[in-house]
Amino acid sequence: MSGHSKWSSIKHQKGVTDARRGQLFTKLAREIIVAVREGGSNPEANFRLRLVIQRARDNNMPLDNIERAIKRGSGQTEGASLVEMVLEGYGPSGVAILVKALSDNRNRTLQDVRNIFSRHGGNLGESGCVAWLFDSQGLITVQTNELDAEELALDAIDAGAEDVKIENNYIEIYTKPEELEKVREALGQKNLPIASAELSMVPKTTVELEEKAALQTLKLLDKLEELDEVQHVSSNADFPNAILEKYQS
């Protein structure tokens, strides 16, 4: 692993407000719907569905919400069709940003994303302009708290992790996409406090920004994530802890 971004993991440490949690449930429901349409409603036979249901449970999404989304995805209830979109662009100082969205109106979502880029010092680019800078990997975030981070890292490697990054109060565990579920289950059996486990677009290398550009980029990333249609935002910006603390204050 030649670089990683602390931004997503820091967001997990902050937790989410009730308003943001409601929005998270909407995003998770959309992912469940698309996973069911793509691979069927049986989680045992649908890897993508298993992953998103586990994420929904990790975030305390009510079982009724999960079941409704599965029914909608399988056509048992009506709902607008959702289109998967991958949008690419540049933030302040040319930092690479990758946006994954699920939308029932492609043109509206494209315009919303373009507007956010332009308002916060960035611009939307052509398809393929930054995707090559990222690899698809499994990413598990575990809160260390009073745990021995070094021992936890060894447990993750024994379970099949490719790489581990130790940060303050949490560790990031990287896996091959197909190994994510196995590693997560192994760590879960040890009753470790898993904050998140998902497939993520991880930058091959990262760029550290000066303070003004870093704060502007953090605002841009947050505004993108606030869009209901946006499921995941990835960036190759790496932010020093001092910048993250200043932004959160």
CATH 3.30.70.980, domain 133-203, yes or no: yes
Question: CB under 8 Å, gap of 24 or more: what pairs does 108-115 form?
Answer: 109/85, 109/227, 109/229, 109/230, 110/85, 112/227, 112/229, 113/87, 113/89, 113/224, 113/227, 113/230
Please state, in angstroms and rounded to a whole number, the distance separating the CA atoms of residues 22 and 220: 21
Q: CATH number of 7-73: 3.40.630.30, 3.40.50.720, 3.40.50.300, 1.10.10.200?
A: 1.10.10.200
For the question of whether the overall pTM of this predicted structure is more than 0.75, the answer is yes
Inter-residue contact 110 to 172 (CB < 8 Å): no
- The pLDDT tens digits for 195-230 are 888 889 999 999 988 999 999 999 999 999 889 899
Domain spans, the chain: 7-73, 133-203
- The pLDDT tens digits for 84-98 are 999 999 999 999 999
At residue 17, the 3 state secondary structure works out as coil
User: Which pLDDT score, from 0 to 100, does residue 6 have?
Assistant: 56
User: Which pLDDT score, from 0 to 100, does residue 23 have?
Assistant: 82
List, run by run, the mean pLDDT of 10-residue segments along the chain (249 residues).
47 52 86 91 91 89 94 78 92 95 93 97 95 94 85 91 87 92 90 85 90 93 91 89 81
Q: Is 21 exposed, middle or buried (0-12, 13-18, 19+ CB in 10 A)?
A: middle
